[in-house]
Chain A
Amino acid sequence: MPERKTIQSWLETAAAQIRWRRARPVLTRELAQHLEDQRDAFAAEGQENAEALAVEEMGDPVAVGAELDRVHRPDPQWGPLAAALVLAATGAVLRVWLTAGWSDRSADPVRSSLAVILGGIVLLTCYFLDFSALGRRPGALYLGSLAVCLATVAWGPEIANVAYAARYAALWLPAVYACWAFGRRRSGWSGLALTAAGILPPAAVCLLIPDTFGLLALLLTAALLLFSAAGCDWFGLGRRKSAWAALVFTAAAAAPMAAVFLRSRRLLVALHPELDPLGGGYSALAIRRALSAARALGEGAETAPPIQAVPNAGSDAFLTTLICKLGWLPFLAVVLTFALLMAWLLHRRARHQSQLGRAVVLAAAVALCLQALCSAAWSLGFTLLGGTFPLLVGNWNTVMDLGLLGLALSVFREERIARDAPCSALPRWRVKVTIQRVS
């Protein structure tokens, strides 16, 4: 009995030739659409066996599948993955080495090694994840993440009234928010309103922790996302209206943040620590004193105060320790390596096609870059916002940051099959008023 030529069997044979399993449904969808068009055209001409003719018209499924297999292969990101792991391992070695003999404040070699190993596992897991799955269920992801953060706030460990575990979890909130915003595309004003309102629950979580850095990263991501969304007309309102809405949102978000900073005198003290030498300015003054004796390469002058005198010299101010113990050049090498990694990430993002991918990379890059900026500024004596340098300092912090980087790299790994789910066009309503003269 001759084999029946069906669209399904043709697609299955073609798909079987494509070795990259995740690419199969993406690629065969377009072929299926073509086959259906061809079948409908034959049926419209009055042909009885329209489906078989359409399949015949397509050609050899094995040849087609093999050709597609040749074009579509995952784009491995081994270089950036290796760079991230090397940075994390270097950070662990430096922390253990430079803080050795600091009694209870020295870095634990076992914990630091475990953090790098666990971070590596998380990095690779996120890298091999299908990032597009995040865009398929943005609501569930958003609610689930908020629930996890709230649970860690409620039951997680606390140090000085700060829910520390929740601070690590909050590093992922910008990425989760990006998926939430992506899910509101093509929903008009309601989509825009939900995107803007969607920032409130995660912002409330950051205030509960409390985590000023997390809040800033979240608001900055949201503002950048809204401007980026306006450029692509995500909400179907037109670019100009969306840009105005983004501007209003940014102003509304920036105003209370600025008010908090100004009222708490944080900015003033960060700029002039001598105004509050025993309070908020103490860390900045200690850091500046320690740095004043630093050299280009090698340990600073013996006249300098001991580095242990600097508060958080093993965490937030670890880069100060690095400068004082090894010199400015190793500091520049580490910071430049990280900056190059981030520049590469943003450069790739600019060329990327999928809007979900761009949103996810933006959120990850904002969280990582902001941490780096805050930490570097703190370590140089500008103590506005504390934070550990990503990938280099901190155990859980490193694990979460490696995960974020893995997620961003997974976007580029699947770049060749990155497709945003189509949205139905918005219905356009127009009210027409006519005035007629009745004679």
Chain B
Amino acid sequence: MDLDRSLVSGSMALLVLKLLEERDLYGYEMMETLRARSDDTFHLKAGTLYPLLHGLEEKGLVTAYEREAAAGKPRRYYHLTDQGRCALTEKEASWHRYARAMHRVLKGGACCAGA
């Protein structure tokens, strides 16, 4: 079953920043890593990824530089900045808060436990 797009789109920045937390990646590598790590659940279109990356660069959350990839071709690598690391921590925390709340609501009944 395909995942509802709207569920993913809001979390794309978080996913990209999380991938860059480990090491510097270029766009295609990022997409493939995301696909492999999510068991093909997050199938990110390149047309979504690049405007998102450029937007993050504009905000100073990532920086980019050109380097030769393993195949010897020049590729534009993205690197998580300190500001990006802080943003990632905040986004992760708010995501966990959101996920816990969703889980409680979907489980049903729990909302009235404290009442």
Question: CB within 8 Å of B: which residues of A?
Answer: 27, 30-31, 33-38, 57-61, 63-64, 67-68, 70-72, 353, 416, 419-422, 424-425
- In the complex, A27 Cα to B51 Cα: how many Å? 10
A contact residues around B58 at 8 Å (CB): 71, 416
Among B17-25, B62-70, B92-100, B101-109, the one that faces the other chain is B62-70
Question: Does residue B74 face the partner (Cβ distance < 8 Å to A)?
Answer: yes
B contact residues around A63 at 8 Å (CB): 47
Question: Contact residue range for chain B?
Answer: 20 to 34
Whether A71 pairs with B68 at a CB distance below 8 angstroms is no
Smallest distance from the beta carbon of B15 to chain A beta carbons, Å? Answer: 17
A contact residues around B54 at 8 Å (CB): 27, 68, 71-72
Question: Does residue B36 face the partner (Cβ distance < 8 Å to A)?
Answer: no
Within 8 A of A (CB), among B66-86: 66-68, 73-76
- In the complex, A36 Cα to B75 Cα: how many Å? 11
Whether A38 pairs with B28 at a CB distance below 8 angstroms is yes
Within 8 A of A (CB), among B7-58: 26-28, 45-48, 50-51, 54-55, 58
Whether A422 pairs with B46 at a CB distance below 8 angstroms is no
13 new A-B contacts, CB < 8 A, other than A34-B28, A37-B28, A68-B50, are A27-B54, A30-B27, A31-B46, A33-B73, A38-B46, A57-B46, A59-B48, A63-B47, A64-B46, A64-B50, A67-B47, A67-B51, A416-B58
Q: Which residue of B lies closest to A58 (CB)?
A: B46
- Contact among B48, B50, B66 with A34 in the assembled complex (CB-CB below 8 Å): B50
Whether A58 pairs with B45 at a CB distance below 8 angstroms is yes
- 7 pairs across A/B with beta carbons < 8 Å? A30-B76, A35-B46, A37-B28, A58-B47, A59-B46, A353-B63, A422-B74
- Contact among B26, B28, B47, B68 with A64 in the assembled complex (CB-CB below 8 Å): B47
Q: Which residue of A lies closest to B60 (CB)?
A: A351
Smallest distance from the beta carbon of A45 to chain B beta carbons, Å? Answer: 13
Q: Which residue of B lies closest to A33 (CB)?
A: B75
Whether A422 pairs with B27 at a CB distance below 8 angstroms is no
- In the complex, A353 Cα to B74 Cα: how many Å? 18
- In the complex, A59 Cα to B54 Cα: how many Å? 17
Whether A34 pairs with B46 at a CB distance below 8 angstroms is yes
- Contact among B28, B47, B55, B66 with A60 in the assembled complex (CB-CB below 8 Å): B47
A contact residues around B66 at 8 Å (CB): 419-422
A contact residues around B76 at 8 Å (CB): 30, 33
Whether A59 pairs with B45 at a CB distance below 8 angstroms is yes
How many residue pairs, one in A and one in B, have C-beta atoms under 8 Å apart? 61
Name, among A30, A60, A68, A424, the residue most crowded by chain B CB atoms within 10 Å (CB to CB). A30
Whether B51 pairs with A64 at a CB distance below 8 angstroms is yes
Q: Which residue of B lies closest to A40 (CB)?
A: B71
A contact residues around B50 at 8 Å (CB): 30-31, 34, 64, 68
Q: A30-B76, A425-B68 are in contact. Are A71 and B45 (CB under 8 A)?
A: no
Smallest distance from the beta carbon of B44 to chain A beta carbons, Å? Answer: 10
Q: Which residue of A lies closest to B58 (CB)?
A: A71
Name, among B47, B73, B76, the residue most crowded by chain A CB atoms within 10 Å (CB to CB). B47
A contact residues around B63 at 8 Å (CB): 353
- In the complex, A60 Cα to B46 Cα: how many Å? 10
Q: Which residue of A lies closest to B30 (CB)?
A: A34
Whether B51 pairs with A70 at a CB distance below 8 angstroms is yes
For the complex of A and B, 10 pairs with smallest distance between CB atoms: A59-B47, A67-B51, A64-B47, A422-B66, A37-B28, A59-B45, A422-B74, A71-B54, A58-B46, A30-B76
B contact residues around A67 at 8 Å (CB): 47, 51
Whether A71 pairs with B51 at a CB distance below 8 angstroms is yes
- In the complex, A162 Cα to B13 Cα: how many Å? 61
Q: A33-B76, A34-B28, A416-B58 are in contact. Are A422 and B67 (CB under 8 A)?
A: yes
Smallest distance from the beta carbon of A22 to chain B beta carbons, Å? Answer: 15
B contact residues around A59 at 8 Å (CB): 45-48
- In the complex, A422 Cα to B74 Cα: how many Å? 7
Name, among B54, B55, B73, the residue most crowded by chain A CB atoms within 10 Å (CB to CB). B54
B contact residues around A422 at 8 Å (CB): 66-68, 74
A contact residues around B48 at 8 Å (CB): 59
- In the complex, A70 Cα to B58 Cα: how many Å? 11
- In the complex, A38 Cα to B28 Cα: how many Å? 8
B contact residues around A34 at 8 Å (CB): 27-28, 46, 50
Smallest distance from the beta carbon of A190 to chain B beta carbons, Å? Answer: 21
Smallest distance from the beta carbon of A308 to chain B beta carbons, Å? Answer: 54
Smallest distance from the beta carbon of A292 to chain B beta carbons, Å? Answer: 51
Name, among B63, B66, B68, B73, the residue most crowded by chain A CB atoms within 10 Å (CB to CB). B66
Smallest distance from the beta carbon of B26 to chain A beta carbons, Å? Answer: 8
- In the complex, A57 Cα to B45 Cα: how many Å? 7
Smallest distance from the beta carbon of A58 to chain B beta carbons, Å? Answer: 5
- In the complex, A173 Cα to B57 Cα: how many Å? 33
Q: Which residue of A lies closest to B68 (CB)?
A: A425
- In the complex, A66 Cα to B50 Cα: how many Å? 12
- In the complex, A71 Cα to B54 Cα: how many Å? 7
A contact residues around B64 at 8 Å (CB): 353
- In the complex, A214 Cα to B64 Cα: how many Å? 36
